[in-house]
Amino acid sequence: MNRSENRILAIVDLENACGGSVNVPLYQADVRAAVELVSCGAPPLVVFSTGPQALALAPTLLWEWSAARFVLGRGINGADNALIDVLRSEPLARRSSRVLLVSGDHAFATPVAELRDRGIPTTVLCTPRSLSRELQTVADRVSWLPDYSQSNCNAINADRDKPSHLKETR
């Protein structure tokens, strides 16, 4: 594959991005818009996951993300494991010119390091609160999502510089 084609693979852990399964109905459209914004006009190939509870709370989710591929995660870390399997075993990830990971979970650190070793740069899009140290170390770039889990709290930015919109950090 010619990497100049700018094929972007977006891997979206929707519950992580929204601040929990109960927030998925409220913020999934914002996360989808953020994926498009960070992709800089190149339409990404999107694979997203969530657990059954979030899917039950947001029954129109599959239609609203109709251009994306959905993988269901079951059990503890089910969504993470389903998305990690996509990153590790599907040719889609290896043939991408760039990967956008929408999650700050440490479970993605090793697959992201493996992509980096193959020369595939990865941008992580997550909340400052959810970014693990391990993932921050291996990612090429980090961009911020609003902290949706704290969105109803007036003191979101009181003690940390948490942006209310996307902000590039490296």
Mean pLDDT of the residues in the chain: 84
Per-residue pLDDT at 1 exceeds 70: no
pLDDT band for position 151 (cuts 50, 70, 90): low
Distance CA 152, CA 27 (A): 12
Q: Dmax of the chain from CA atoms?
A: 48
Kindly report, residue by residue over 33-78, the tens digit of the pLDDT. Answer: 999 888 877 778 999 999 899 999 999 999 999 889 999 888 888 8
Predicted pLDDT at 5: 67
pTM of the model: 0.84
Read off the tokens for 48.
Answer: 């997203």
Residue 156 in this model has a pLDDT that exceeds 90: no
Are 111 and 22 contacting, i.e. CB atoms less than 8 angstroms apart? no
10-20: average pLDDT: 94
What domains sit in the chain, N to C, each tagged with a CATH number?
3-150 (3.40.50.1010)
Whether the pLDDT of residue 88 is over 80: the answer is: yes
